[in-house]
């Protein structure tokens, strides 16, 4: 009877956490498509509207590890539910915003809630499943993450066209409430620290400051230039604060991040390969809509359906590769997966202004297979290489690394793309092309050049996966 209850609980926990994970990762991508509309509605500059996304990323990324540590002490269920409640309230406040400042402040609240849910979701699932099924469970979570990140522009486009910008927020409130009710009823409390909590305040402050300066460095660097004085001050501050964070963690009785975890080659290399893969894939997430809509003239809905191929493929492959990693370990699967992502980026770079939908679709399928094959075993190896009492820290590390890779990758890709698009436009100016054709060709050229850089970066991820060493099967 107990075994049946455990069997029932682990799937209930997985479904419940999947809802929160989808909401959190969807939030990171669904809002961006509304920026042009928000600029008109609030009669403001694009540089101001951009903060609707920037503050969400800054808050969620910077707080994730601290909140994961709090979850280990106060109880994962308690903190997870509080986070989902904040997300729900944040969505409601965003949907009734009367000015841009109100919207930005509401996004701050959402970011705090998202940090709480994302930081603890993987830890809750890992605790619910036995070690021999961890990869399969995290494979499903990995597929949900991919679906959330890549379906944001698709859903956002449809909602924006048919229901207006406020619908991007209020249509998700019922889903969030359902997830909140399920979490309250179905999840069991997981409190792993019996000692009194000694919160690492200096570690939290220096980590928050370092990650905030890092993300602002990438954000402003793309617009002001990476060698401009304000941007150089930001990157210097990020480095100094990170050094202070390391010092604080070495001295703290209960550090936010146990630095000894990085002595494990599997844990360290899996995190390095994760940030590299998401850094590279961010280029495609950011640029593919420009290529499909402005480069070859597809409608927003058709572009969204093509992009959904990646998440659907990853959703199928993720659980399979996770299940297989339970049998053979993660090294081979992660190496092959990262190699397929790299190959897909090279193949997508070969797309031109006349490429057919079949050409695009096949390349996106390769990317989806690679993503699903890499992410699930890699996440499982990270979660499996830490003690169970530190699962929340490892879970938060996953979310932090993923978000830092995505946000940094988008900023870098935007800088490269803009520079190369202008270069190609100047090169083509003497060919007496029609303005529309000149724009299309320059967009495609910038797209191709940026993906070449992304593929080269991704190749480093292959090496990081290969040197992780052998992982014994669960």
Spatial contact of 25 and 145, defined as CB atoms under 8 Å apart: yes
| Pure H helices in 187-330 | 201-224, 229-251, 265-289, 300-328
Indicate the pLDDT class of residue 4, thresholds 50, 70 and 90. Answer: very low
Angle at which helix 51-74 crosses helix 201-224, to 10 degrees, equals 160
Spatial contact of 369 and 240, defined as CB atoms under 8 Å apart: no
> Which tokens is 409 given?
């990758």
What percent of the chain is predicted at pLDDT more than 70? Answer: 90
SS3 of residue 227 by DSSP: coil
Spatial contact of 152 and 26, defined as CB atoms under 8 Å apart: yes
SS3 of residue 242 by DSSP: helix
> Which tokens is 325 given?
């990693």
SS3 of residue 190 by DSSP: coil
Phi, psi angle pair for 389, to nearest 5°? -75, -10
Four-residue CA torsion sign, 13, 15, 20, 24: positive
CA distance 148 to 135: 20
- For 65-115, the pLDDT digits (tens) are 778 778 777 788 888 999 999 999 999 999 999 888 899 899 999 989 988
Spatial contact of 305 and 154, defined as CB atoms under 8 Å apart: yes
What is the model's pLDDT at position 2?
46
CA distance 235 to 217: 6
CA distance 318 to 21: 15
Q: Give the single-character DSSP code of 290.
A: I
Spatial contact of 296 and 436, defined as CB atoms under 8 Å apart: no
Dihedral Cα 421, 425, 427, 428, nearest 10 deg = 130
Spatial contact of 261 and 381, defined as CB atoms under 8 Å apart: no
- For 403-446, the pLDDT digits (tens) are 778 777 877 887 788 788 888 888 887 777 777 788 888 888 88
- For 99-111, the pLDDT digits (tens) are 888 998 999 999 8
CA distance 27 to 53: 9
SS3 of residue 351 by DSSP: coil
What is the model's pLDDT at position 1?
44
Indicate the pLDDT class of residue 226, thresholds 50, 70 and 90. Answer: confident
CA distance 29 to 223: 20
> Which tokens is 193 given?
């620290």
Q: Is the pLDDT of residue 222 over 70?
A: no
Q: What is the enclosing helix (H) or strand (E) of 256?
A: none
In Å, how far are 216, 217, 238, 242 from 209, measured between CA atoms? Answer: 10, 12, 7, 8
- For 185-208, the pLDDT digits (tens) are 888 876 665 555 566 778 778 888
Give Dmax (Cα) for the chain.
Answer: 78
Q: Give the single-character DSSP code of 50.
A: T
Q: Which of 119-128, 281-290, 298-307, 369-378 has the lowest mean pLDDT?
A: 298-307
Angle at which helix 357-384 crosses helix 134-162, to 10 degrees, equals 140
In Å, how far are 83, 89, 175, 245 from 112, measured between CA atoms? Answer: 7, 11, 18, 21
Q: Is the pLDDT of residue 457 over 70?
A: yes
CA distance 75 to 188: 10
* CA 283 to the chain's CA centroid: 13
């Amino acid at each position: 009877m107990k075994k049946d209850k455990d069997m029932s609980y682990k799937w209930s926990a997985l479904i419940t956490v999947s809802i929160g994970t989808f909401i959190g990762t969807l939030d990171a991508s669904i809002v961006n498509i509304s920026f042009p509309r928000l600029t008109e509605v609030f009669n403001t500059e694009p540089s101001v509207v951009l903060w609707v996304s920037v503050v969400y990323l800054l808050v969620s990324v910077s707080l994730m590890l601290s909140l994961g540590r709090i979850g280990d002490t106060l109880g994962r269920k308690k903190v997870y539910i509080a986070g989902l409640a904040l997300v729900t309230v944040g969505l409601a406040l965003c949907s009734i915003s009367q000015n841009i400042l109100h919207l930005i402040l509401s996004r701050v609240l959402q970011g705090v809630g998202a940090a709480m849910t994302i930081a603890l979701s993987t830890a809750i699932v890992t605790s619910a499943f036995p070690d021999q099924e961890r990869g399969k469970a995290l494979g499903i979570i990995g597929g949900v993450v991919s679906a959330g990140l890549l379906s944001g522009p698709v859903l956002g486009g449809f909602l924006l066209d048919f229901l207006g910008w406020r619908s991007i927020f209020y249509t998700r409130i019922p889903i969030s409430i359902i997830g909140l009710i399920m979490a309250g009823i179905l999840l069991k409390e997981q409190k792993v620290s019996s000692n009194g909590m000694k919160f690492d305040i200096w570690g939290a402050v220096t980590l928050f400051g370092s990650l905030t300066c890092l993300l602002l460095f990438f954000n402003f660097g793309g617009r002001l230039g990476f060698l401009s004085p304000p941007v150089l001050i930001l990157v210097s501050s990020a480095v100094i604060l990170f050094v202070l964070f390391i010092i604080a963690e070495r001295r703290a009785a209960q550090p936010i991040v146990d630095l000894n975890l990085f002595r494990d080659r599997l844990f360290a290399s899996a995190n390095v390969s994760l940030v590299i893969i998401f850094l590279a894939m961010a280029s495609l997430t950011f640029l593919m809509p420009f290529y499909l809509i402005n480069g070859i003239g597809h409608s927003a809905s058709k572009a969204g359906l093509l992009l959904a191929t990646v998440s659907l493929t990853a959703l199928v492959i993720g659980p399979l590769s996770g299940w297989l990693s339970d049998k053979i370990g993660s090294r081979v699967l992660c190496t092959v997966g990262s190699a397929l992502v790299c190959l897909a980026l090279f193949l997508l770079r070969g797309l031109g202004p006349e490429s057919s939908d079949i050409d695009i679709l096949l390349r996106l399928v390769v990317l989806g297979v690679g993503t699903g094959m890499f992410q699930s075993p890699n996440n499982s190896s990270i979660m499996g290489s830490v003690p169970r009492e530190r699962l929340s820290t490892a879970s938060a590390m996953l979310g932090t690394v993923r978000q830092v890779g995505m946000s940094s990758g988008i900023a870098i890709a935007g800088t490269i793309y803009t520079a190369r698009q202008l270069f190609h436009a100047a090169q083509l100016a003497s060919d007496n092309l029609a303005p529309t054709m000149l724009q299309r060709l320059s967009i495609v050229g910038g797209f191709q050049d940026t993906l070449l850089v992304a593929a080269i970066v991704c190749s480093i991820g292959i090496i990081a996966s290969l040197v992780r060493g052998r992982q014994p099967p669960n």
